[in-house]
Amino acid sequence: MIVTVAALGTELLFAPRPRLRVGMGVQAGDRLGAWLNGHEPEGALVIGFSGATRAGLGAGTVLLAAEILGDGSDPIPLDPVLVAKAQEALPDAAVGAVATVARPADPVEKARLGVDALAVDMESAHLAREFADRGMPFLIVRIVLDELWEDVSGFHIRWAGRALACSRRLGQAAAALRPVLEGA
């Protein structure tokens, strides 16, 4: 079994089953760890929304993580063989580092993080540590919800349509990546 993991139910709307919603932030890693203590998936696919840290990444851009950067912790590299196979399955995806932060990043913070990362989220480092510590194969795919100069700190109804469109694209990306993990 390959489990699809995300912070929000909206991110999982079109994703393959089984699905696990873990919430945002550091608690996501704790919830994932508790779930993994009672389940033994063959691999995992982490999906979700992210903020772009570079001007060239527009809303709806699919991002494949090659490395996860956390606040003050060592970078977590993803399996380069799995990432290469994932690139073949998602040839239009941008590939690079994703930075994990404690709270939604404003445009200035996103731009600062853009030196090292393509995107910013609030869960990837916590989830990646859980999977890496257990030796479980995993991939992380993100989609840009908010562009570099957009601020999502106050979620407004205007984001709902974009979130739904991004969720649909996440589901398509997850379906394309599932065979990569099944063969890992």
Q: Which domains does the chain have, with CATH numbers?
A: 2-182 (3.40.50.1580)
* Model confidence pLDDT, tens digit, residues 9-35: 999 999 999 999 999 999 999 999 999
Alpha-carbon distances, residue 5 vs 10, 27, 57, 66 (angstroms):
12, 14, 23, 17
Bond from prior residue into 80 cis (ω within 30 degrees of 0): no
Its pTM stands at 0.95
What is the rounded CA–CA span in Å between residue 52 and residue 69?
Answer: 15
Give the rounded percent of residues in the chain with a pLDDT score beyond 70. 98
Task: For residue 44, count other CB atoms closer than 10 A to its CB.
Answer: 24
Where residue 72 falls among pLDDT bands split at 50, 70, 90?
A: confident
